[in-house]
Amino acid sequence: MSDIENLERDITSKINAAENEAALEAVRVAALGKKGVVSERMKTIGKMTPEERKEMGPALNGLKIRVTEAIEAKKAALEELALDARLASEKLDVTLPPPDLPAGKIHPVSQVFEEIAAIFSAMGFDIAEGPDIEDDFHNFTALNFPPDHPAREMHDTFFFEPKEDGSRQVLRTHTSPVQIRTMMSRKPPIRIIIPGRTFRCDSDQTHTPMFHQVEGLVIDRESHMGHLKGTLEAFAKAFFEVDNVGTRFRPHFFPFTEPSAEMDVQYERVGNEVRFGQGVDWMEILGCGMVHPSVLRNCGLDPDEYQGFAFGMGVDRLAMLKYGIPDLRDFFAADARWLEHYGFDPLDQPNLATGLSR
Ligand code: DAH
């Protein structure tokens, strides 16, 4: 075998062995670069006799051309391989579900807030909010709690240290002070619900020092007890997701409403489960009544001109009842396993069209 054939075989095997473009470029430089083996051999042509040149010239030229072509072919093959690898790594099957669904669940309290908001929004209510830290006027006095009235004691209020003038701020014991804030800042007609945190010094299986309420307030010139009843019955049916639920309005006392009532809903206990809209038992779920004329007056509204109704419900208890959650304290234990079990899918926003708690 001639030494040109040997050289070609050697270079060709190096070209075939090159695994990437950088390795191939090294082979190219070693063969065809200025000081490459093929280039060095080409330089010897000038020193050859005419006979030698006649034979070696075409042979070396042929070598150079074949090596050049082999390198180009290998380069194209390597580029294609690189493209295939990239396409494979970037492949996306758009028919598959998203690989990383958002982690985390919606807390049952947030879920129930959203459900209640969806129901009352559909009835034309707005949402209003107020501060967690209140003064005595908004939390008690304007709501017609007389000074030293035992009802103030009923609430197990958290008081702040007295200020210099002797007044003490409180952690609001209910969402009712936002009724006052709304009536003092907005002209009727008013139709709002008020979701929020509330605080009382109390802790057992069904009470926590911080809990949640939704308040409702309707003020205009003609809303009466019949509207109150119809609104709350419609709410109970929608919330418990049943076609019919018996309701009962029992006379009660709240300083800020007259008359006042508690609303009970019909239910039946089946094993550990509570089923609403069937059975012969009654469960209290909220307080309500016609806004007391003194409360209207305290907010600068003339009770001969304006009237309306209000209601307030405990969200945590409604969540426990609706979703069969036995202990309220677990709501605030921040246990991820509990939330995984009792929580809701973030993409399932409650609404009346597709179902509240699907
Ligand atoms: N604020 C009351 C409570 O926390 C609940 C309540 C009862 C609110 C009757 C109302 C109402 O607006 O009319 O116990």
Q: List, for residues 127-147, the tens digit of each pLDDT value.
A: 999 999 999 999 999 999 988
Question: 44, 61, 89: which is the final residue of a domain?
Answer: 89
Reported as half-sphere exposure (CB side, CA atoms, 13 A), residue 52 has a value of 7
- Whether residue 100 lies inside any domain: the answer is no
- The type of residue at 342 is Y
Which pLDDT tens digits describe the chain residue by residue (358 residues)?
Answer: 588 889 999 999 999 999 999 999 999 999 999 999 999 998 888 888 988 888 888 989 999 999 999 999 999 999 999 999 999 999 888 888 777 766 789 999 999 999 999 999 999 999 999 999 999 999 999 999 988 777 677 678 999 999 999 889 999 999 999 999 999 999 999 999 999 999 999 888 788 999 999 999 999 999 999 999 999 999 999 999 999 999 999 999 999 999 999 999 999 988 878 888 899 999 999 999 999 999 999 999 999 999 999 999 999 999 998 998 888 889 999 999 999 999 998 888 888 887 787 6
Same domain, 186 and 260: yes
Mutation pick for ligand 1 pocket among 125, 157, 173, 176 (CB with most ligand atoms within 8 Å)? 176
- Whether residue 285 lies inside any domain: the answer is yes
Pairing of strands 273-276, 257-270: antiparallel
Q: Domain limits at 69?
A: 2-89
- For residue 310, give the H/E element and its range: strand 307-314
Same domain, 166 and 306: yes
**What is the tens place of the pLDDT at every residue in 247-296?**
999 999 999 999 999 999 999 988 878 888 899 999 999 999 999 999 99
Mutation pick for ligand 1 pocket among 254, 260, 292 (CB with most ligand atoms within 8 Å)? 254
Q: How far apart are CA 49 and CA 53, in angstroms?
A: 6
- Are 211 and 204 spatial neighbours (Cβ–Cβ below 8 Å)? no
* 288 Cβ closer than 6 Å to some ligand 1 atom: yes
Instruction: Please name the residue whose Cα sits nearest to atom 8 of ligand 1.
Output: 312
* 289 Cβ closer than 6 Å to some ligand 1 atom: yes
- Whether residue 31 lies inside any domain: the answer is yes
- Whether residue 97 lies inside any domain: the answer is no
Atom of ligand 1 nearest to the CA of 175: 1
* 311 Cβ closer than 6 Å to some ligand 1 atom: yes
Q: Pull the structure tokens for residue 161.
A: 């240290």
Same domain, 45 and 124: no
Whole-prediction pTM: 0.72
